[in-house]
Amino acid sequence: MKILLLENIHSEAVRVLNNRGYEIETASGALGEDDLIEALDGVDMLGIRSRTNVTRRVLEAAPQLSAVGAFCIGTNQIDLEAASDHSVAVFNAPYSNTRSVVELAIAEIIAMARHLTDRNRDMHAGLWDKSATGSHEVRGRTLGIVGYGNIGSQLSIVAEALGMRVYFYDLADKLALGNAKRVGSLEELLEVAETISLHVDGRSSNKGFFGAEQFAQMRPRSLFLNLSRGQIVDLDALHDALDSGHLAGAAIDVYPSEPRNKGEEFVSNLRGMPNVILTPHVGGSTLEAQEDIGRFVAGKLGDYDALGNTSMSVNFPEVAAAEVTTRRVVHLHQNVPGVMARLNSALANHDMNIGSQMLATRGEIGYAVTDISGDSYDGLLAELSALDETKRVRIL
């Protein structure tokens, strides 16, 4: 089985997969659609980070592909609906780089509150300006968090430990941690907070949701951070809010359009603005996080192939399968009435004894893992493949 890993995925992933006996091919940069299609010839599993887009066209051109590992938090660079349609399981690392993103956010909040970017620029230019003007402690100041998921909630804890007051807004009913307070609307959060940090996902409904109207509602001389998804913020509106002095500073790590490879020019109207921190999508890029991500996602890909395990899959029904002790049928199918009866009937036709069976469904997809034993497996795979509802079937 051949696995292609793109975008400088950590060597820990290569080590894990090599130890499982896979043939690994790596590439340092992201690939465009045409190049990716060419590269996927003969590839069974693909590993990417955030800059390679796995589109419906890519999936249609790669019938051998069985799984995609996103070695990052987000999966908006993958057409999940198309992946499900083409029976391709998708896995990601929703927790591994949480701490790295939180630490960067805290560092940037402190740096902006102290105007460290301006002081650093002046010192490199030979200007000594020992002044407290515009410099503040973060203790006692109010942080507003938009999105109280894994990262937002941990940021809440760390910020509170620094003495900040924390408010948050989330569409879901989330339990407040520590002394954080939930507000009922984004408008309410913008009114009360002196620093706003975005931590929402990249779903299409979030595109452009933070723009001129929201910046105008923020308190004068507030700070703004986006370390989540580039397409959710109108950067022209952010530029205007900074240029007018309404905002005192901003830290941006993600952008609507990002260079694919190292060394390409980064173009933005925020370049050169005072007290604006621009980082190249490195929120989760610490050695510790990348090693954890490499180990975690590589393990998920290996377990899916060897065990049929879909635990924590982004798009498949979740089945946590144990070690294989006999033979195992892994059956992905259309979730329609009677399909399990037809599956089990096919097993009975081949005199298979069912030792255990696990089933999970997710929308229009069903996923069954059945441990079987018998004397003859000849023709079993062909009969299971011939079922009208079968999307993909394997015998382990």
What residue type is assigned to position 387 of the chain?
L
**Choice among 115, 141, 229, 331 that is catalytic:** 229
Q: Give catalytic status of residue 86 as yes or no.
A: no
Question: Is 46 in a helix, a strand, or coil?
Answer: strand
Residue 375 has what pLDDT? 86
Euclidean distance between CA atoms 132 and 183, whole angstroms: 33
Residue in the block written with tokens 């430990």: 161
**Choice among 10, 115, 141, 281 that is catalytic:** 281
138: tokens are 């973060």
Name the superfamily (CATH) of residues 98-278: NAD(P)-binding Rossmann-like Domain (3.40.50.720)
**Choice among 12, 160, 188, 258 that is catalytic:** 258
126: DSSP letter: T
Q: Which residues of 124-138 are buried (b: 16+ CB within 10 A; e: fewer)?
A: eeeeeeeeeeeebeb
Euclidean distance between CA atoms 281 and 229, whole angstroms: 9
Please, are residues 250 and 238 in contact by the beta-carbon 8 Å criterion? yes
Residue 29 has what pLDDT? 87
In the CATH hierarchy, which fold is given to the domain comprising 317-396? Answer: Alpha-Beta Plaits (3.30.70)
Per-residue pLDDT of the chain (396 residues; tens, 9 = 90+): 999 999 999 999 999 999 999 999 999 889 999 999 999 999 999 999 988 999 999 999 999 999 999 999 889 899 999 999 999 999 999 888 899 999 999 999 999 999 999 999 999 999 999 999 889 999 999 999 999 999 999 999 999 999 999 999 999 999 999 999 999 999 999 999 999 999 998 888 889 999 999 999 999 999 999 999 999 999 999 999 999 999 999 999 999 999 877 888 999 999 999 999 999 999 988 999 999 999 999 999 999 999 999 999 999 999 999 898 899 999 999 999 999 999 999 999 999 999 999 999 999 999 999 999 998 888 999 999 999 999 999 999
Q: Give catalytic status of residue 114 as yes or no.
A: no
Is the backbone of residue 307 left (phi > 0), alpha (psi -120 to 50) or beta?
alpha
Angle among Cα 165, 171, 173 to the nearest 5 degrees reads 75
Residues in the chain: 396
Q: Give catalytic status of residue 229 as yes or no.
A: yes
In the chain, which segments carry CATH 3.40.50.720? 1-96+287-316, 98-278
Residue 211 has what pLDDT? 97
In the chain, which segments carry CATH 3.30.70.260? 317-396
Alpha helix ranges (H) inside 86-207: 98-113, 116-124, 150-161, 186-192
Name the superfamily (CATH) of residues 1-96+287-316: NAD(P)-binding Rossmann-like Domain (3.40.50.720)
